[in-house]
Structure 1
Amino acid sequence: MKPSLDNQYNLLSKTFHWVTFILIIVLSVTGLAMADMPRGPEKLDLIDLHGALGFLLLFITICRVLWRLSSPQPLPSAGLSSQTITLSKLVHFTFYGLMGAQVILGMLSIYTVGRALYFFGLFEIPSPLARDIPLHHTMETLHSIGWYTLVALIALHILAVLIHHKNGVPILRRMT
């Protein structure tokens, strides 16, 4: 794949990036809200919304990876060391893997209580698993650990962009 010559990400790449960011924020808010809610219909509705948004994130992540593999990417910004470029690639690879893993762990959390995954009332994916509460708790724990890891990576990503921007490396402009 030939690199993009204008050193900017294309519109679809930018759209995937910012929609992903917004979805992660909304998923974080709904996930944290669910943790403090008592059992009841409101919590089940929020679980269904969270699951649907997570499934949407998985779809967007798959599309994003396919787009990234099939479209020209800009060259790394001038002024970045080879170690920084390698670390950036590692962080981005980890983002994609972690987003996929988070959705799968979330789906398993839903399935292990015997619930289907509902996608905004358009369709449902029935649980392929029997109810298994100990496994459910394990999936929820792994899902929580994944969220904390994702938040840490996002913070690292934002910090790196701001540091590079402050140092005159125009990373921020590539994705805006």
Structure 2
Amino acid sequence: MSVLEFNQMLLNNTEFLKPFAITLTRDSEAAKDLVQETMYRALANKDKYNVGTNIKAWLYTIMRNIFINNYRRKSKQATIFDSTPNEFLINANQGAIANDAIANINLKEVKEAIYNLPEIFRNPFLLYFDGFKYHEIAEMLGEPLGTIKSRIHFARKLLKNQLQRY
């Protein structure tokens, strides 16, 4: 395939790239940049294009990969490091007093709700809450893994209904 034919194929498929770019970026200016970058990469890598393959799919793949790479790069750059001294925040909590009484009442209500569960749901839930894995609980209780998972699920559901205000 000659360079002229390849360039003509790219130009013919440019219009198909614009809607896809807008779908990805949700911004018309960023979409134009993405289309331009895609065309540049396609021209730079024309030797990697296999004649006879779907050029639209090839271009869509290039565009999607560019978008993903840019997104990852931006998400890493979005981290802001504040190196200013925060000495004025050292004593900021002096006016706030923790209310342990309310926390203890809430915890008591949650524990009571757990212990009011039917035993068939309470035992697997407590073991799961203590940090055991599903398969370990299944072995301990001698039940199938799926049964344990569903019992823990139903225990959560019952607790959610009982403790709706939390």
How does the TM-score come out when normalised to structure 2? 0.23
Larger Rg: 2
How does the TM-score come out when normalised to structure 1? 0.22
Higher helix share: 2
Of structures 1 and 2, the one scoring higher in RCO (CA 8 A, sep 6+) is: 1
